[in-house]
Amino acid sequence: MLLGIAVLLSGYVVYEHVTDGDAVPWELQLNRHQRKVAGESPFYNPWQYRVLSTAVVQGALDLTKATVPVLSPRVVFYGIHFLQILAICLLSVAYFRQLGVSNPMLQIVGLILISYSMASSAYKSDLSFDTYFDVIAYLCAALLILKERYVWVVPLMLLAALNRETSGLIPLMILVPLGTSHPRMFARSRLIAVGAAMLVYGVAFVAVRWYFGLQPAVGIHGMTSASEYLWFNLSFARLVPLLLGTLSVVPLIVVWRLGQVHSVLRGWFWLIVPIWVVIHFLKSTVVETRLFLVPQIIIFVPAFLTLVERWYEDRITG
């Protein structure tokens, strides 16, 4: 049943992204991709450096052209995006279970919440393949860490770093205690994995910028400074409704009850959320609310589910 629900919700998310009147038109999305492939990306820094998603999409386009030439690039784009959303849904269910959310109805609630968050995040955005691969990378990392398979975070980090620079917090997630009865048992392996993953991230980060050439980051309206971005974000009239439409009140509830949240999620909250919010308000246009899908899916939604399940269990046992 969960698989069927995940498929339906994934289709709904893609439908919203494709038909949303505030999203980037298809023709412009294709043009942006073609310019990336040619090494002439708009907003060169950082778009040109996000090479993994560009390579995946272009590889799919080339394969389709060679095998099913009647299939249009539009179908390929939408198909890849559907698979991304479906992967996020299925990984999220596994993540909820790993965190102890055993109630299948709550798992479905979680799927609904993250699906509607994704569906409501298309403002001024294209299909943003790198953003959704970033979410997938964080979900995979969280699952590996919870299962104490730290060594696998290192190769994952290579793919994540080549996809998006915002994956840089993944190695530090390993340092958050898992709350086991033997907290020192894996201390050495954790430190080695953190060091190796950070090294991989650093090498990949520098390598793509060395290959394509480093250019200054320039945003819309020619914005370059943190103060310009901050003023633009805070003065944008629709910012609060857009954020509320994507995140709902879930983050507010989690922050309110943070002391009762699962210890690992509480640690990841302090590791990720403050710096994520600050950096994006100072160096991004946060009206593109998809930029907050990582903390929403990795921290806020699962934390909310664990709060609900704990409340329910307390009521039963009380």
- Residues 115-151 pLDDT 10s: 999 999 999 999 999 999 999 999 999 999 999 999 9
Q: Which helix (DSSP H) or strand (DSSP E) does residue 73 occupy?
A: helix 73-98
- Distance (Å, whole) CA 301 – CA 51: 29
- Distance (Å, whole) CA 259 – CA 116: 26
Q: Are 260 and 310 in contact (CB under 8 A)?
A: yes
Contacts of 278 (CB under 8 A, 6+ apart): none
Question: How many percent of the chain have pLDDT more than 70?
Answer: 96
3-state secondary structure (DSSP) of residue 39: coil
**Distances in Å between the alpha carbon of 306 and those of 43, 257, 260, 263, 301?**
39, 11, 9, 11, 9
- Give the pLDDT confidence of 193-202 residue by residue, as tens digits: 999 999 999 9
Would you list the DSSP string of 148-169?
T-GGGHHHHHHHHHHH-GGGGG
pTM for the full model?
0.96
